[in-house]
Amino acid sequence: MHADLLSASTLLGFLLTLVRVAGVFVFVPIPGVSGTLQPARVMLAFGITIALFSHWPQVQGDPTIGQFVMWIMLEAAMGIGIGLAVAFVAESFAVGAQVLGLQMGYAFASTIDPNTQADSTVLAIFAQLSAGLLFFATGLDRDVIAIFARTLDVFPAGTFTLSKTAATQIILAGGVMFSTGMRLALPIVAALILVDISLALLGRVNAQLQLITIAFPVKMMVGMALLGWICLLLPALFRATAQSTLHAAQGLIAH
């Protein structure tokens, strides 16, 4: 038993699996993980790799150093690709928040980002925290681990190759990020444009009205009211986006 655990094939399989898992949990900003310390993320990747022991690939033969380095690069590319597809789900909310922050007048209201410890807009932080909570509430973390177990069965060590289909799946996941962000922001942006047009018409009718001083408060109140209504739709929107992203990640495996 000890000889099997310490064999070269098992150690190589462990290293290749660790590289694939680390591509997601170390290099890609996944909600709930990116804000932790780097050693904690390394231990998380190590623990998930140990949990996937039954799916470790069995490396046959004696690969050369160049061949093993190539395997590591391909394994890291697969892990980072899946991690990017998952991160696009949370970033779709951030895209919508960035668009809304400028239109609602919150572009100048900043706070500390708990992930990067840098100044960021209030709506962007709200979007990141909401996406992080929904990431675990919808069980997307379990789906990511299941996809990893599937990748180890479909693509053992040294069999994954970069292809046009794999790149297309990642690009499609990025397109879903932008489309979801715009779908989230456009209803509120349209309402705020109507508010601007209404204030402009009132100012045209009566030039004595000082509407510039109340334009920002009105837009902020209308935007917050509509944002509260949009928040009720966030779980359904997150699930729909997650399904599209997981479909892209599964397409990356099935290519």
Q: How far apart are CA 39 and CA 240, in angstroms?
A: 33
- The pTM (predicted TM-score) of the whole model is 0.71
pLDDT over 60 at 133, yes or no: yes
SS3 of residue 111 by DSSP: strand
pLDDT of residue 149: 76
pLDDT confidence of 185, banded at 50, 70, 90? confident
Q: Does residue 78 carry a pLDDT above 70?
A: yes
pLDDT of 231 strictly over 70: yes
Supply the pLDDT for residue 41. Answer: 75
The helix-helix angle for 140-154 and 122-137 (nearest 10°) equals 60
Average pLDDT, integer, range 81-109: 79
Confidence of residue 174 (pLDDT cuts 50, 70, 90): confident
pLDDT of 110: 60
pLDDT score at 124 = 79
What is the band of 1 on the pLDDT scale with cuts at 50, 70, 90?
A: very low
- Tens-digit pLDDT profile for residues 98-131: 888 777 777 666 655 555 555 567 787 888 888 8
Evaluate whether 29 touches 80 at the Cβ level (below 8 Å). no
- 20-47 pLDDT per residue, tens: 888 777 656 565 555 556 677 778 888 8
Domain ranges in the chain? 2-254
Say which residues have a Cβ less than 8 Å from residue 23's Cβ, sequence separation at least 6: 75, 76, 77, 78, 79, 80, 81, 82, 83
User: By three-state DSSP, how is residue 120 classified?
Assistant: strand
The enclosing H or E element of 161 equals: none
Mean pLDDT of all residues belonging to the chain = 76
pLDDT computed for residue 112 by the predictor: 58
Tokens of 91: 């970033």
User: Would the pLDDT of 156 be above 80?
Assistant: no
Nearest to 116 by CA among 108, 104, 105, 124: 124
